[in-house]
Amino acid sequence: MQTGMSDRWMSQVLTHIIHLSKEHLLVTDGDGIVRLVGPTSEEIYGVSQAELLGKNVRDLEKIKVFSPSASRKVLETGQPQTMMQETVNDQKLMVSAFPLWSDEGKMLGVISFTHDLTEILELKRRYETLTRQIKEFENEIEELREKNGSDHFIAVSKAMKEVERMVEKVSGVDSTVLILGESGVGKNVIAREIHQRSRRAHGEMVEINCGSIPEGLLESELFGYEAGSFTGAAKSGKPGMIEQANQGTLFLDELGELPLPLQAKLLKVIQEKRLQRVGSTTYRDVNFRLIAATNRNLDEMVKQGAFRQDLYFRIHVVPIFIPPLRERPEDISAHIKRTLHSLHERYGLQKQLSRKTLQLLLHYDWPGNVRELENVLERMVVISDDDLLEPGDLPVAIIPSDHTVLPHDLLLSDHQLTLQVALEALEQRMLKEAANSCRTTTEMAERLGISQPSVVRKLKKYKIERFKNE
């Protein structure tokens, strides 16, 4: 093939490659003159191919067709460049430019690849939406605090607003309340809220966890005992917790753990409003409001004979169900804000959550509910040496196994997400997804729309495991 024909053939091939490429390509010669440019130039730069061909990238940069010019930077340094670029129509682009060398080491020109940032801009939009939602949640919490005068009872979600409505209704009466819900949802918080809003608030609220006291001691703790009623008893006897709740509120937490014999005695006290201390033959009048709570299914326990049906009917007057935290995600950010505020006051610290850390906390299922959330936050605040709490400060269980923790500078302290860092994070995620579903780097290249050598280079850059059969 003659040299002239060879040059024309190569020029035609390169032109076709640029026109068929999924990425926008631009090629200059060694002087910076645009020799080849993709057909999407008007869409990308706001000017046509004809207006670009034959122009020097330095001149195009001066009139802001694109700025800064990655090709100019390569011509000046001889090194590949990747940078953010703005165009005359205010588009933001990610451009990677690479030098083209001859066999003699002379720079023949520069080829640049312009990436579409649609996904990155969408990612930024989502973060901004999340920030607005958090701000809205914070405003709602402040409104609730002003309304209720409470730093503990949080009701942002529809479900918890219904719980608040029930609390408001039962606080004005003495009806027995049964609070239901998983462990850690805050049943004791609701019980205290009812007591504090009730006409018995001047009296004592006595709380006893029926599952935390050994069965042999539980009876005397509940009902009290007379002097000499058993070995080790106080000489003057001792009133039980039910007596201490006289004119106040008795809160029996984990009621499902109460042994059957004591269930019968408790039922009698509820019905007669009087009790006998252990070892006594006389009755003492008591006037208390009963609130009970359990994470057990009392209906099933009644069927199995593990809980008295008559006691169940006595306490199942006004049931209040508290949904698990995973079913009311709107409340999570409110609990986070309240808990951090409390920890700051308690320990004299000022720790803040990075946006990525907050996102992980908001998307965790919280099997331990509010109690687990409070424990995790306290652990992070106390242990971390930094004022900004990053994903690395979280317990491993909270970070999903398929989740890539992005670089710390992805979430800057001023809450501004840089597009370059976000692009690298997105590129890393897409490479990992392709590596998991493709058998070879060639297949990955086809999937991602880039060359196979580019795939290999990027895998090495992000330290993603290479394929064993290549």
pLDDT in tens, the chain (470 residues): 444 556 676 666 666 666 666 568 889 999 999 988 877 777 778 888 888 899 999 999 898 888 898 999 999 999 999 888 888 777 778 888 999 998 888 898 999 888 766 566 677 777 777 777 777 776 665 555 444 444 467 888 999 999 999 999 999 999 999 999 999 999 999 999 999 999 999 999 999 988 888 877 888 889 988 875 555 555 668 888 999 999 999 999 999 999 999 999 999 999 999 999 888 889 999 999 999 999 999 999 999 999 999 999 999 999 999 999 999 988 998 999 999 988 998 888 889 998 888 988 988 889 999 999 999 999 999 888 888 888 888 887 787 655 544 444 344 434 445 566 667 777 877 888 788 778 888 888 888 888 888 888 888 888 787 554 44
Rounded to an integer, what distance in angstroms lies between the CA atom of residue 324 and that of residue 459? 41
Whole-number percent of the chain with pLDDT over 70: 82
CB 46 within 8 A of CB 87: yes
Can you tell me the distance from the alpha carbon of 194 to that of 442, in angstroms, rounded to the nearest whole number?
66
Please, are residues 181 and 173 in contact by the beta-carbon 8 Å criterion? no
Burial class from Cβ neighbours inside 10 Å (0-12, 13-18, 19+) for residue 7 reads exposed
Residue 293: predicted pLDDT: 96
The per-residue pLDDT for range 133-161, each reduced to its tens digit, is 777 776 665 555 444 444 467 888 999 99
Using one digit for the tens of pLDDT, what is the confidence trace for 195-215?
999 999 999 999 998 888 887
Residue pLDDT, tens place only, 27-69: 999 999 998 887 777 777 888 888 889 999 999 989 888 889 8
The pLDDT of residue 21 is 63
The CB density around residue 262, as the number of other CB atoms within 10 Å, is: 15
Encoded amino acid at 36, one letter? L
How many CA atoms does the CB half-sphere of 143 hold within 13 Å? 9
- Are residues 249 and 288 in contact, defined by beta-carbon separation less than 8 angstroms? yes
Q: Are 332 and 325 in contact (CB under 8 A)?
A: yes
148 Cα distance to chain centroid: 27
Sign of the dihedral through C-alpha 342, 348, 350, 356: negative
- Angle, alpha carbons 270-276-279 (nearest 5°): 150
**387-394 CB contacts, 8 Å cutoff, 24+ apart:** 387/350, 387/351, 387/352, 388/351, 388/352, 388/353, 388/354, 388/413, 389/351, 389/352, 389/353, 389/354, 389/357, 390/354, 390/356, 390/357, 391/354, 391/356, 391/357, 391/360, 393/357, 394/357, 394/360, 394/361
The pLDDT score that the predictor gives to residue 420 is: 67
Specify the pTM: 0.54
What radius of gyration, in Å, describes the C-alpha atoms of the chain?
35
pLDDT of residue 410: 43
Q: Could you tell me which of 109, 114, 112, 111 has the C-alpha nearest to residue 86?
A: 114
* Per-residue pLDDT at 373: 93
Q: What integer pLDDT is reported at residue 18 of this predicted model?
A: 66
Q: Which uninterrupted H or E stretch holds 66? A: strand 66-67
Q: Coil, helix or strand for 190?
A: helix
What sign for the dihedral angle of Cα 10, 15, 20, 23?
Answer: positive
Half-sphere exposure of 92 (CA within 13 A, CB side): 11
Task: Find all residues with CB under 8 Å of 70, minimum gap 6, and list them.
Answer: 81, 82, 83, 85, 95, 96, 97, 112
